[in-house]
């Protein structure tokens, strides 16, 4: 989905998964500071939007998701995962129920597979699943924002801000009244600072929830009856996920950031040392400088200095080993 807001002055298109919205509007650090101060909005209209309506929607989703949603209060935001039979993460959903419909936004391009899976699991439940991506675009207002919400718009509010499910036809008029527009790179920098994982960035084909700290925020440990629960329970009881998410401070003297997938090794062993993990997301932060999220083996010492390629990196613990 190509956003109409790419026509705004200074808009530079994002690349890769985030293609379709602006990477920035001419001043990355200014946009980061504005977002941190609660100003402006982020165009996330490239994300997929999926709805589930019908009287059985919450009880049915409860059987499929890692989150407890049977009694989800109207207007209360939550997040949930769909796992494979082996407990690997397949989908991440950011949810809110408006009293009649559950609204979820998901990673760009994942909505087709999600809808296909949900449709295959309907059986005799009174639910209707719909891909609403063509009709609605997500706009993010940062925490502390006083920007108004148009009447009738569904809002998903968390500690990090509010996600608005805006009709696509309203995106340009909303932008004109509630600027400044802020690019996805600023949003990503604050996401990395907050240690928040993202599907397809911090995950690969074998990632389990414990590795990323999604236990507690997206997984309810006192519920059962969902695909992949056995893996979640086993790791929770044994306490030994094979990898763990870390936050890295990168050497600021390097011109280029390490790209996603850059291998991590012990600094004491040099660039030819054992592979201990890899960079998942690296960004430039307006206050912290170059920072990153990475996955490392569980037994990597917490105080070990690392090398991301040739770039020195120091760890902060996100997931305890």
The 10s digit of each residue's pLDDT in 123-145 is: 999 999 999 999 999 999 999 99
Ramachandran region, residue 114 (left: φ > 0; alpha: ψ -120 to 50; beta: rest): alpha
Residue 162's DSSP bridge partners are 141, 157
Query: Which pLDDT score, from 0 to 100, does residue 23 have?
Result: 98
DSSP characters for 88-156?
-EEEEEEEEE-SSEEEEEE-TT-HHHHHHHHHHT-TT---EEEE-TTTEEEEEEETT------TT-EEE
The 10s digit of each residue's pLDDT in 206-225 is: 999 999 999 989 999 998 88
What's the chain's average pLDDT? 96
Query: Which pLDDT score, from 0 to 100, does residue 13 have?
Result: 98
- The residues, ordered by sequence, that sit 6+ positions from 196 with a Cβ below 8 Å of its Cβ are 160
How many of the other CB atoms lie within 10 Å of CB of 288?
15
User: What distance, in Å, lies between the first and last C-alpha atoms of the chain?
Assistant: 39
Q: Is the pLDDT of residue 313 over 80?
A: yes
Residue with tokens 């001043």: 27
pTM as predicted:
0.96
Q: How far apart are the C-alpha atoms of 65 and 71, rounded to whole Å?
A: 14
Query: Which pLDDT score, from 0 to 100, does residue 225 have?
Result: 85
The 10s digit of each residue's pLDDT in 52-89 is: 999 999 999 999 999 999 999 999 999 999 999 999 99
**Taking the C-alpha atoms of 242, 246, 251 and 252 in order, what is their torsion angle to the nearest 10 degrees?**
140
Beta strands in the chain (DSSP E): 12-13, 22-24, 41-44, 48-53, 78-83, 89-97, 101-106, 128-131, 136-142, 154-158, 161-167, 181-182, 243-250, 263-266, 277-285, 289-297, 306-308, 311-317
Buried b / exposed e along 214-252 (16+ C-beta atoms within 10 A): bbebbbbeebeebbbbebbeebeeeeebebbbbbbbbee
The 10s digit of each residue's pLDDT in 86-99 is: 999 999 999 999 99
Report phi then psi at 137, rounded to 5. -125, 145
* Radius of gyration in angstroms for the set of CA atoms belonging to the chain, rounded to a whole number: 20
Helix, strand, or coil here: 22?
strand
Burial environment of residue 312 by CB neighbours within 10 A (0 to 12, 13 to 18, 19 or more): middle
């Amino acid at each position: 989905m190509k956003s109409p807001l790419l026509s705004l002055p200074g808009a530079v298109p994002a690349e890769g998964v985030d293609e379709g919205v602006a990477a920035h509007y001419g001043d990355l650090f200014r946009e980061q500071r504005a977002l941190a101060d609660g100003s402006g909005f982020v165009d996330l209209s490239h994300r997929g939007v999926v709805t589930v309506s019908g009287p059985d929607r919450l009880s049915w989703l409860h059987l499929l998701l890692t989150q407890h949603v049977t009694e989800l209060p109207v207007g209360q935001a939550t997040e949930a995962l769909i796992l494979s039979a082996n407990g690997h993460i397949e989908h991440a959903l950011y949810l809110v129920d408006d009293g009649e419909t559950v609204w979820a936004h998901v990673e760009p391009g994942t909505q087709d597979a999600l809808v296909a899976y949900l449709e295959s699991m309907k059986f005799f439940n009174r639910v209707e699943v719909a891909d609403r991506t063509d009709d609605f675009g997500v706009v993010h207002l940062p925490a502390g924002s006083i920007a108004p919400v148009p009447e009738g718009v569904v809002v998903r509010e968390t500690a990090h801000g509010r996600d608005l499910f805006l009709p696509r036809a309203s995106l340009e008029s909303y932008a004109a009244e509630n600027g400044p527009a802020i690019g996805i790179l600023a949003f990503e920098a604050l996401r990395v600072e907050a240690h928040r994982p993202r599907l397809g960035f911090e995950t690969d084909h074998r990632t389990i929830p414990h590795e990323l700290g999604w236990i507690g925020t997206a997984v309810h440990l006192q519920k059962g009856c969902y695909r992949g629960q056995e893996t979640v329970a086993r790791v929770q009881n044994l306490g030994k996920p094979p990898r763990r998410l870390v936050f890295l401070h990168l050497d600021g003297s390097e011109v280029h950031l390490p790209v996603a997938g850059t291998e991590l090794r012990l600094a004491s062993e040099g660039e030819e040392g054992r592979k201990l993990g890899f960079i998942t997301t690296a960004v430039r932060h307006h206050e912290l400088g170059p920072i990153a999220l990475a996955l490392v083996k569980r037994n990597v010492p917490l105080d070990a200095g690392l090398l991301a390629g040739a770039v020195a990196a120091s760890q902060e613990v996100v997931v305890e080993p």
